[in-house]
Chains A and B, each alone.
Chain A
Amino acid sequence: MDSQTKSNQPKTSQVKTKPKLNSKNQSFKLQANNVDVFYDDFQAIENISLDIVEQSITAFIGPSGCGKSTFLRLFNRMNDYIDGFLMNGSILLDGNDIYDSSINVEELRKTVGMVFQKPNPFPKSVYENVAYGLRIQGIKDEEYIENRVVESLKQATLYNEIEGNLEKQALALSGGQQQRLCIARALAVKPSILLMDEPTSALDPISSGKIEDLIHELKKEFTIVIVTHNMQQAARVSDNTAFLYMGKLIEYGDTQKIFTNPEKDRTQNYITGRFG
């Protein structure tokens, strides 16, 4: 995939709810246009259009089954493996349609990394976990791999905690450390986007706090999209929030606005815990 494509400045004529831009120079990294998703006869996503701002954090919130994880997984084509999956509309990454037949999905996933709800390290050393993505890309240069491993572990704020012991077994780490290892593993292949599907729901508050701090640091370099059931987490970490309900995008925009004075009653009822 060509990541050096044309800039996608906000188009004011589009009838979409608008995300907040932190600076005038920010553009849209991902753009979903009139997206429908079906699993056989069931429509999981209904005509969602939404732009995701580069180097920002976007949170998807909504009750279980609202389609937020399905929508997240569209960005790295993780839904392709599900039987009966069908998508209409388009998803653009740096202006290129990632569902175009010319797109190499493996290449796409180098650009769009993903972190899941439960930490899922391989039963290998810390080093081999982080090196894994580089090795399956066919990289043989061990010095380069080692540099990437160390740099990724530092970025994921794990390197100091394991005191540089890269041979430590991944499964011997705490849950929070394992999740940061998974983030380091995703970072090693130099993605530009990180998708996170409830990355702290299995963690204690201290570990969650460390991941949140890390997410905040990573946005300087990466575009982050996070699905969370934790309203306070969405409010704390994200720049923009999208509220989905029954497959529809109800409201999308500046997180501060959503959590202080949402436009829609349905959003207010959800974030204040009165339904959902």
Chain B
Amino acid sequence: MAPQHLDSELKLLKDNVLELMFLVKNQLEKGQKALDDFDEELAHEIMANEKRVDSLELTIDRDCENLLALYNPVAVDLRFVMAAFKINSDLERIGDHANSIAKYIADFGRKIDEDTLETMRLDKMYNTANEMVSNVFNAFITEDTDLARKVFRLDKTLNKINREVSGATAELIEADISQTQNYLYLFSIIRKLERVGDLTKNIAEELIFYIEAKVLKHKKMKSKNNNGNDK
């Protein structure tokens, strides 16, 4: 066993995952800006960056495979590699959603009026999703599981908005049927951001698995007063 080599390989893996996380976080934030400002150029930039997301995903997959095959990590090292492997996949899918949203924005063809944005609660949805991704990013850097746990509560906010906005979308369509396609685009963005929330929650669970060796997946919230400490 070569612990120094193992440590440097693990650090490289962490750096790569952080780079991907940072990239995906930016993709999502740029998406919000592109939507708010109807910035087609920025939307195209997001689409162009998708290649970097895919490329980094492949690099991280290879890093994980090499670490498992060559170093046989155990205990906390094994949990880290397993978590990194799953987080990698979650990040790539968040990147896909950011890319799809950018395509909608580019296809939309005009700035969305403030009232519609307000009714569809897109800013609240985006702000919450961005906060979740920022939390897991910082939690990964600092290995702070309390911060990671905060995303569980935020995910509930996204789920709630997602449920409520379907009714609002129907009302908007009824009021102006000629805008049906555009409203459906916007509703698709809401749905994609809700999925971003689910994926970010998965990342938080993986971080907790790696740091605390606790499996939170598929567990129900134990009580209302535990501040998202369990799910």
A side interface size, CB within 8 A: 12
A260 contacts B1, C-beta separation under 8 Å: no
B54 contacts chain A at the CB level, 8 A cutoff: no
Write out the residue numbers on chain B whose beta carbons fall within 8 Å of the beta carbon of A274: 3
Give the complex CA separation of A63 and B79 in angstroms.
24
Other-chain contact of A259, B3, B6, B75 (Cβ < 8 Å)? B75
Chain B 28-59, CB within 8 Å of chain A: the 1/0 string? 00000000000000000000000000000000
A272 contacts B213, C-beta separation under 8 Å: no
A261 contacts B77, C-beta separation under 8 Å: no
B3 contacts A235, C-beta separation under 8 Å: no
A271 contacts B74, C-beta separation under 8 Å: yes
Interface centre among A260, A268, A273, A274 (most CB of B within 10 A): A273
> Taking CB as reference atom, which chain A residue is nearest B71?
A273
Write out the residue numbers on chain A whose beta carbons fall within 8 Å of the beta carbon of B77: 272
> Taking CB as reference atom, which chain B residue is nearest A271?
B74
A235-B74, A259-B74, A260-B74 known; A273 vs B79 contact (CB < 8 Å): no
Give the complex CA separation of A262 and B75 in angstroms.
7
B side interface size, CB within 8 A: 13
Chain A 244-256, CB within 8 Å of chain B: the 1/0 string? 0000000000000
A231 contacts chain B at the CB level, 8 A cutoff: yes
Chain A nearest Cβ from B211, distance in angstroms: 11
B3 contacts A231, C-beta separation under 8 Å: no
Give the complex CA separation of A262 and B76 in angstroms.
9
Other-chain contact of A261, B1, B2, B3, B213 (Cβ < 8 Å)? B213
A231 contacts B1, C-beta separation under 8 Å: yes
A13 contacts chain B at the CB level, 8 A cutoff: no
B228 contacts chain A at the CB level, 8 A cutoff: no
Chain B nearest Cβ from A3, distance in angstroms: 37
Give the complex CA separation of A273 and B2 in angstroms.
7
A232 contacts chain B at the CB level, 8 A cutoff: yes
Chain B nearest Cβ from A234, distance in angstroms: 10
B72 contacts chain A at the CB level, 8 A cutoff: yes
Give the complex CA separation of A259 and B77 in angstroms.
10
A273 contacts B78, C-beta separation under 8 Å: no
> Taking CB as reference atom, which chain A residue is nearest B72?
A232
B72 contacts A272, C-beta separation under 8 Å: no
B contacts, CB < 8 Å to A: 1-3, 6, 72-79, 213
9 closest Cβ contacts across the A-B interface? A273-B1, A261-B213, A273-B3, A259-B74, A268-B75, A274-B3, A271-B74, A272-B77, A232-B72
A-B contact pairs, 19 of them (CB 8 A): A231-B1, A231-B72, A231-B74, A259-B74, A259-B78, A260-B79, A260-B213, A261-B75, A268-B75, A268-B76, A271-B75, A272-B3, A272-B73, A272-B74, A272-B77, A273-B1, A273-B3, A273-B6, A274-B3
Excluding A231-B1, A232-B72, A271-B74, 8 further A-B contacts by CB distance (< 8 Å) are A231-B74, A259-B78, A260-B79, A260-B213, A272-B74, A273-B1, A273-B2, A274-B3
